[in-house]
Amino acid sequence: MQAILEALRISGINHGISTGLASWEGQGEELSSFSPVDGQLIGKVRAASREDYDTVVGQAQEAFKTWRLVPAPKRGDIVRQMGDQLRKYKTELGTLVSYEMGKSLQEGLGEVQEMIDICDFAVGLSRQLYGLTMHSERPSHRMYEQWHPLGIVGIISAFNFPVAVWSWNSMIAWVCGDVCVWKPSEKTPLTAIACQHIIQEVLKANDVPEGVSGLVVGAREVGEWLSNDERVPLVSATGSTRMGKAVGQAVGARLGRSLLELGGNNAIIISQHADLPLAIPAIVFGAVGTAGQRCTSTRRLIIHESIYEDVKQRLIKAYGQLRIGNPLEADVHVGPLIDTSAVKSYQTAVNEVRIAGGTFAVEPAVLTGEAFASGCYVQPCVAEVENHWPIVQYETFAPILYLLKYHTIEEAISLQNAVPQGLSSAIFTLNLRESELFLSQAGSDCGIANVNIGTSGAEIGGAFGGEKETGGGRESGSDAWRAYMRRQTNTINYGTTLPLAQGIKFEL
């Protein structure tokens, strides 16, 4: 409890109504944050009005004028200090993530670690925003490209990673010289406010203008304001495919840029050549971690027919060992879903599985009793289904794992690909031919494809995102930074004549 109180203090939530930064203490409706852990009201936040939004965007525009002139390695140094602050507050912030969102404490701490990692990555990146040089076809000419900041980056994040996704975007955007306006999920406003407080000390100590990090708490309309706002050249949105289509269309209509990281329907292929003792914990963590509310959660298991029964029995045994309950307790594997409407979606999906003719190897249930009084706890379940069923084609944000059978590896790969989403995928096999086929251009069509590890829990060093309805965006590591900058090609003539390209003659 001490850790929660400390976490709330950091969030500035002392008397129910938060006080502090003008950028998030809005004039709009009051939002209440209830913990799915125990159903308690944690705090209230006043959402931003349109006027507040315009103030924050105005501040961001002003801040950009100075921030873009700070040398990138100096911006990196400020991000380094933010990483140090996050190290200092890891326990408190991780605890608040766990309490406000419901993921296990281990995963709450892991999420903050992911923020620290991206800070470290961004610090290095701040000296590596490389452009190419080209050889000009014209004598005494030099060509090169350079990368400039874009301006305001709008960040729309989801409840399931209430703080890490913001940091993947903001830390990279900041070293690139951009300024950020963050719309966190209205289901997790307090963790967002806590982040603002944590980095505020660093911004102040370094005389960074406040508008470099704006926060606009609110519901859907804030996302619409960002998407339609020509002052915001890039909107990076993480969430459902439905939300992403709306953002992509609105931003596209004004020819802005969007970076979309949307739903997944991630599968693991379990070959007859799999190391099953390795595979089972990976499957179970992938399916029940964050109570099945990661975009990378394992939703489908495509199992070779010869080991199907064996895998099913092992899963039944493993699911029997799961401890479901208060995620703040150290040995609990599975916490609650985010709210009771998520529980309804779980129940709807379960019903649809039954209507389609599916059966459950591990039965679903909404858990009742004193420990589950918030009404948000469900039993992770395992269903035997067919891939083409509409419910299997759809991403339900809940711990429901679908079992499918295959005969040949080609068939397994085509089942894996036969969904509208394309985020993460994995194969468990010790057979080189199978794993290489899976990774080849004729293999997985996803943005992430793993061998002998599960679908979730990606490291920040790689580019994160996926294809098809996942939206095509790439965030965090590798060269994902390019999305946050504009490329400029420069040609410089240091000679005394004016030769034209393509050999064109033009004489006066």
List interacting residues with ligand UN1 (CB under 6 A). Answer: 114, 160-161, 165, 238, 294-296, 456-458
- State the residue number with the nearest CB to ligand UN1: 458
Decide: residue 315, CB within 10 A, 0-12 exposed, 13-18 middle, 19+ buried: buried
Nearer to ligand UN1, 164 or 303 (CB): 164
Q: What is residue 107's three-state secondary structure?
A: helix
CB of 240 to ligand UN1, least distance (A): 11
Locate 412 and state its tokens.
Answer: 């397994």
**Residues whose CB falls within 8 Å of the CB of residue 476, separated by 6 or more in sequence, listed in order:** 118, 121, 168, 172, 460, 461, 462, 463, 464
Catalytic residue chosen out of the listed positions 186, 261, 434, 475: 261
Instruction: Give the separation between CA 120 and CA 11, rounded to whole angstroms.
Output: 24
CB of 475 to ligand UN1, least distance (A): 9
DSSP annotation string for 212-225: GEEE---SHHHHHH
CB of 455 to ligand UN1, least distance (A): 8
CB of 294 to ligand UN1, least distance (A): 4
261 noted as active-site residue = yes
CB of 171 to ligand UN1, least distance (A): 14
Chain centroid to Cα 151, Å, comes to: 22
Locate 173 and state its tokens.
Answer: 């955007």
In 3D space, the residue among 432, 174, 424 whose CA is nearest the CA of residue 286 turns out to be: 424
CB of 266 to ligand UN1, least distance (A): 9
Bridge partner list, 304: 406
Nearer to ligand UN1, 294 or 474 (CB): 294
Nearer to ligand UN1, 4 or 295 (CB): 295
Bridge partner list, 257: 234
Nearer to ligand UN1, 114 or 178 (CB): 114
**Residues whose CB falls within 8 Å of the CB of residue 405, separated by 6 or more in sequence, listed in order:** 302, 303, 304, 305, 308
CB of 297 to ligand UN1, least distance (A): 8
Chain centroid to Cα 7, Å, comes to: 22
Helix (H) / strand (E) element for 406: namely strand 400-406
Q: Helix 189-205 crosses helix 2-11 at what angle (to 10 degrees)? A: 60
Nearer to ligand UN1, 72 or 235 (CB): 235
Q: 298-304 and 266-270: which strand pairing?
A: parallel
**Residues whose CB falls within 8 Å of the CB of residue 419, separated by 6 or more in sequence, listed in order:** 265, 267, 300, 387, 392, 393
Nearer to ligand UN1, 110 or 131 (CB): 110
**Mind telling me the catalytic residues?**
261
